[in-house]
């Protein structure tokens, strides 16, 4: 059942069954997204009602002994009041959104460039011990955040970039994850391609641009997406390095929204994930394209 792709005809019962199965699983995965969007269209009152389980005197009269949180998929009354609250009553929201961009965009571009160059270097460099260096990259990549924070702080202090976005951006750009991902993707490019290009007299820049880059489209899309989302959602580093609350990224603001903010937490989340979601849609096309391209041969 695994190998033969051609046997399954278009629109056969088999495929419909498959689609149904995958569709159900996909719906489960989409559920939290749907819930967030639906809840963002509810009034604060309804949300509070759904997510509080404290008994009121009315419940006691009605004989209700225990209450559970409810996850509803249809709002009683569609309302944009939450968006109104976030966008109009919290003027800081847009400012913070801009701050988030100021961090995530430079990191994404910087990390992409560094990752491509370094990965290419790793691929073409013929040195006996390069794998050792690569291992160091992987080891650092696997370190948990708590282990990296203090070293990060020390270096930011030394370079006098503390309390500055650079303290977050620079380590982000040089983080080993992108190098790892790109190097691993470059392994898919058959060595024959390099040799052929070399024979034709192409130099490294030309090989890099003409041979490697087109092959990596999907990986580049993946890397950009992952790095952007990671730095879009970053909280800990921002908390430690940024002193002024007007310079905080939105993620920090969102992370402090506790139970008391129920009324706007969903609409804020929706607005907040709109950008990554849009990038996902964009990048996903590229992802598919990249897959098709490399699958042609």
- The answer to whether 30 contacts another protein (rule: CB under 8 A) is yes
Letters for 147-176 (x = contact with another protein by CB under 8 A, - = none) are: xxxxxxxxx-x------------xx-xxxx
Contact 171, 133 (CB under 8 A): no
Spatial CB neighbours of 71, under 8 Å, sequence gap ≥ 6: 35, 50
Task: Name the residue nearer to another protein (CB basis): 196 or 282.
Answer: 282
Residues of span 61-120 touching another protein by CB under 8 A: 66-71, 89-90, 92, 96, 114-115, 117-118, 120
* Residue 142 C-beta: closest distance to another protein, Å: 5
Tokens of 145: 């955040």
Q: Which of 195, 209, 245, 282 binds another protein (CB under 8 A)?
A: 245
Contact 38, 70 (CB under 8 A): no
Letters for 191-230 (x = contact with another protein by CB under 8 A, - = none) are: -------------x---x---------x---x--xx--x-
Closest CA to 36 of 256, 279, 280, 254: 254
Contact 137, 180 (CB under 8 A): yes
Within 13 Å, how many C-alpha atoms sit on residue 102's CB side? 16
Q: How far is the CA of 46 from the CAs of 80, 89, 173, 190, 266, in angstroms?
A: 13, 20, 43, 58, 13
Spatial CB neighbours of 91, under 8 Å, sequence gap ≥ 6: none
Q: Which of 62, 63, 74, 126 binds another protein (CB under 8 A)?
A: 126
Mark the segment that binds another protein (CB under 8 A) among 23-31, 101-109, 191-199: 23-31
Residues of span 32-51 touching another protein by CB under 8 A: 32-33, 35-36, 51
Task: Name the residue nearer to another protein (CB basis): 27 or 78.
Answer: 27
* Residue 78 C-beta: closest distance to another protein, Å: 19
Mark the segment that binds another protein (CB under 8 A) among 18-26, 101-109, 193-201: 18-26
CA 31 to the chain's CA centroid: 18
* Residue 107 C-beta: closest distance to another protein, Å: 12
Q: Which of 112, 168, 194, 269 binds another protein (CB under 8 A)?
A: 269
Mark the segment that binds another protein (CB under 8 A) among 101-109, 193-201, 231-239: 231-239
What is the spatial distance between Cα 107 and Cα 113, in angstroms, rounded to a whole number? 10
């Amino acid at each position: 059942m695994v190998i033969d792709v051609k046997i399954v005809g278009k629109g056969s019962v088999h495929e419909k069954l498959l689609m149904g199965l995958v569709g159900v699983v996909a719906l489960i995965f989409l559920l939290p997204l749907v819930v967030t969007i639906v809840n963002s269209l509810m009034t604060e009152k309804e949300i509070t009602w759904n997510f509080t389980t404290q008994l009121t005197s009315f419940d006691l009269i009605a004989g209700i002994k225990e209450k559970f949180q409810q996850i509803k998929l249809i709002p009683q009354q569609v309302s944009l009041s939450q968006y109104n609250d976030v966008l109009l009553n919290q003027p800081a929201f847009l400012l913070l959104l801009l701050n988030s961009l100021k961090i995530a965009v430079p990191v994404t571009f910087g990390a992409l460039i560094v990752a491509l160059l370094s990965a290419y270097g790793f691929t073409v460099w013929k040195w006996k011990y390069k794998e050792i260096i690569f291992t160091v990259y992987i080891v650092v990549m696997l370190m948990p955040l708590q282990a990296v924070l203090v070293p990060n702080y020390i270096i930011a202090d030394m370079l006098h970039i503390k309390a500055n976005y650079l303290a977050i951006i620079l380590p982000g750009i040089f983080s080993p994850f992108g190098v790892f991902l790109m190097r691993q993707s470059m392994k898919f490019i058959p060595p024959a391609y390099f040799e052929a290009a070399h024979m034709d007299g192409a130099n490294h820049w030309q090989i890099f641009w003409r041979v490697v880059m087109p092959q990596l489209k999907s990986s580049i899309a993946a890397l950009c997406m992952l790095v952007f989302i990671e730095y879009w959602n970053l909280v800990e580093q921002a908390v430690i390095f940024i002193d002024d609350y007007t310079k905080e990224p939105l993620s920090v603001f969102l992370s402090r929204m506790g139970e008391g903010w129920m009324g706007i937490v969903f609409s804020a989340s929706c607005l907040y994930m709109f950008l990554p979601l849009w990038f996902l849609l964009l990048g996903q096309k590229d992802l598919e394209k990249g897959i098709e391209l490399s699958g042609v041969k």
